[in-house]
Structure 1
Amino acid sequence: MLKQFFIICSGADTDILEQCSKGEQNKYAGIGATVFFTALMAFIAASYALYTVFDNYYAAIGFGFIWGLLIFNLDRYIVSTIKKTGRFLDELLQATPRIMLAVIIAIVISKPLELKIFEKEINQVLLEQKNDLTLANQNQILAQFNPEITALETDITTLESKVINKEVEVNALYNTYISEAEGTAGTNHLGKGPVYKEKREKHDALLAELQQLKLENKEKKADLEQQIATLKTNYQLQVDTTQPVINNFDGLMARVNALGTLSWMPSFFIFLLFLAIETSPIFAKLLSPKGPYDFKLEDLEMAIKTHVLQNKNQREALLKTDNAINDRVYADLKTEDELYTYKRKKTRELMQLQADAFFKHQKNIL
């Protein structure tokens, strides 16, 4: 039962193959098994590749099964259409387009399996790429908010500088009126005289301005800090919103590109393996000698071709003979007086009827 199934997979004519030896049947069963398992590998590879796209088992298995059937049909067609002629160069020329198609199929089949085999290495590459993308994304978003935050921080620094400068002035006036009271500067008179009072009033007035400035700047600084906090919150919100896009950067194209960054040699050998599997049925037929099945198939095709050619030639000869007979018949009738007289009479009657009909039509118009 299994052998019969693989023979069907090979695309061979089962009726002809039943008349051949067991060895010939086993050869085509082996070719069919290769075709079947190649389609099975295509089904597995396509299912994994589509799972990375749809992230759904049912959709991946469904489309993978259709892809496996397509590869099975192509391989079966490729193998079944290679005819053994006994001339290797003619057979190779005949198989060249099929070999090129087999190479394309091998590439398509091997790539998803390479993604699965090197999944850990690809994940490492993707992790590094995600980290780079995360940093780049944060820097890009920060570039949008940073100028405004820097300007607000500069305003805060300016407010603080004004307070500090005012404090320096107040402290200088404080030292001045204290020195005046102690008699170490100014008038050099010990005690709280008029000069002391004047300097003390200046100090107190400037101190009041300092207190007022601190209150005003505190409100302004709180408002600026609130704006900075809002900008930082918006920055973090935008980072959090865009981060899932980076986290999902592991689709089929991203994995293929990540695979391209790895060493090419392992992938190349996996491709060669699938290329050998895909082209093995073709080369098996090319390298195998012309067997009983090929002779029987050629005999059957030649018999059908001969029968068709015979029928075609027979119909052409029949047509040619019939044309010759008709030519002779009409040539004899051409000189017959009785036929001429009869046809002349009928033609005369026809022309009279036409003349009468024309006359009636013209009369009706008038």
Structure 2
Amino acid sequence: MLKQFFIICSGADISIINSCSNGEQNKYAGIGATVFFTAVMAFIASSYALYTVFDNLYAAVFFGLIWGLLIFNLDRFIVSTIKNRDHFFDELIQASPRIVLAIIIAIVISKPLELKIFEKEINQVLLEQKNELTLANKDQIAQQFTPSIIALQNSITTLQNSIDTKEAEVNALYDIYINEAEGTAGTKLLGKGPVYKEKRDKHDAALAELQQLKIENKEKIAATEAQILQLKTDYDTQVSTTQPIIDGFDGLMARVNALNELPWLPSLFIFLLFLAIETSPIIAKLLSPKGEYDFKFENEEHKVKTWTTQQVYQEKTLLEADHLLNDKVYKDLAQEEELYTYKKKMAQELMKKQQEAFYNKQTKIL
């Protein structure tokens, strides 16, 4: 049962292969098994690749099954259409397009399995890339907010400096009127005279201005700090909004690019393994000499070709003979007097009827 299934997978003619020896049947069963298991590996590889794309098991299995059946059909077609010839180079030329197709299939099959085999290493590369993308993303977003925050902070510094300057002025005026009262500066007269009062009034006025300036600037500073806080909140919001995009940076293309960052030698060996598997049925047919099945198959083809050639020749000869007979029959009929007289009589009657119809039509017009 299993042997027959693999023979079917090889694309061999069942009616011919069943009449061959057991060894010949085993050869084609081995070729069919290679075709079958290549399709199974194509199904597994494509299912994993599609799972990384759709993130849905059922969709991945469904489309993976379709891809596996496609690869199975292609391999079966490739193997079944290669015919053993008398010269190896003729066979190689015949198989060269199919070998190229097998190489392409091997690449397509091996790449998803490489992604699975080196999954941990790829995840490490992706993690490093995600960290770099996160830092780069924060820097890019910060470039949108940093100038505004710096400008607002400079505004706060300016407001605070104006308060400090005014406070230093008030403190200086305070020292002046105290020194005047103590007689250590100014008029150097001890006591609170007119000059003291003048300087005290000037200090009190400046103190009142300082208090008013503090109230106004503190309100401005509070408003500016609120703007800064809002900008920082907007920055954090934008970072948190864009971060899921970076976290989701693990699709099929990203994994393939990450795989290319790894050493190429292990990937090469995996590709060569699948290339050997994919081309093994073709190479087996090219290297194997003509067997019993090949001779019988060639004999059946020759029978069909001979029968078809005979049919075409017979139909062509029959057509030529029919043409000759028709020409001779009509030539003999043209020489018979009775047929001539009958046809002449019918022509006369037809001409009379045409003349009568023309006369009636002209009469109606008049």
TM-score (norm 2): 0.97
Q: CA deviation at 1:86?
A: 2.0
CA RMSD in angstroms comes to: 1.2
**Residue type of the alignment partner of 1:258:** A
Of 179-188 and 16-25, more deviation after overlay is shown by: 179-188
Q: Residue 30 of structure 1 aligns with which residue?
A: 30
Q: Identity rate of aligned residues, in percent? A: 71
* Corresponding residue number in structure 1 for 2:125: 125
- Kindly state the Cα deviation for residue 306 of structure 1 after the two structures are TM-superposed: 0.7
Give the drift of 1:334: 2.6
- Contact kept in structure 2, 1:84 and 1:290, CA below 8 Å: yes
Secondary structure of the 1:184 match is coil
Stretches of structure 2 lacking an aligned partner (at least 5 in a row)? none
Q: Report what 2:112 is aligned to.
A: 112
| Cα offsets for 1:164-216 (capped at 9, x unmatched) | 10011011111111221222211122222221121111111111111111111
Following superposition, the deviation at residue 111 of structure 1 comes to 0.7
User: How far did 1:291 drift?
Assistant: 0.4
How far, CA to CA, are the matches of 2:357 and 2:287 in structure 1?
84
Q: Within the alignment, does 1:221 sit opposite 2:213 as a pair?
A: no
Contact 1:152 1:228 in 2 (8 A): yes
Question: Whole-Å Cα distance in 2 between the matches of residues 219 and 118 of structure 1?
Answer: 60
User: Structure 1: which 5+ residue stretches go unaligned?
Assistant: none
Deviations 1:223-247 (A, max 9, x none): 1111111111111111111111110
- Write the deviation string for residues 101-139 of structure 1: whole angstroms up to 9, x where unpaired: 111111110110111111111111111111111111111
Paired position in structure 2 for 1:333 = 333
Paired letter, 2:248: N
Task: State how 1:192-203 maps to structure 2 within 5 Å.
Answer: 192-203=192-203
**Partners of 1:86 and 1:289 within 8 A in 2:** no
Q: Find the aligned partners of 2:261 and 2:29 in 1 and give their Cα distance.
A: 41
The answer to whether residue 77 in structure 2 is matched with residue 72 in structure 1 is: no
Give the superposition deviation at 1:300: 0.6
Q: Which residue of 1 aligns with 2:314?
A: 314
Read off the aligned partner of 1:342 and give its amino acid letter. Answer: Y
Give the residue type in structure 1 aligned to 2:179: S
Query: What amino acid is aligned across from residue 287 of structure 2 in structure 1?
Result: L
1:240-267 Cα offsets, whole Å, 9 max, x none, are 1111111001011111111122222211
1:125-274 paired onto structure 2 within 5 Å = 125-274=125-274
> Aligned pair count?
366
CA–CA distance in structure 1, aligned partners of residues 246 and 363 of structure 2: 96
Residues in 2 aligned to 1:338 and 1:115: alpha-carbon distance in whole angstroms: 94
> Alpha-carbon deviation of 1:60?
0.7
Cα shift at 1:330: 2.1
- Please tell me whether the aligned partners of residues 166 and 210 of structure 1 are also in contact (alpha carbons under 8 angstroms): yes
1:348, 1:134 → 2: CA distance? Answer: 105
Q: Which stretch of structure 1 is more off in the superposition, 223-232 or 85-94?
A: 85-94
Deviations 1:81-110 (A, max 9, x none): 111122212211111111111111111101
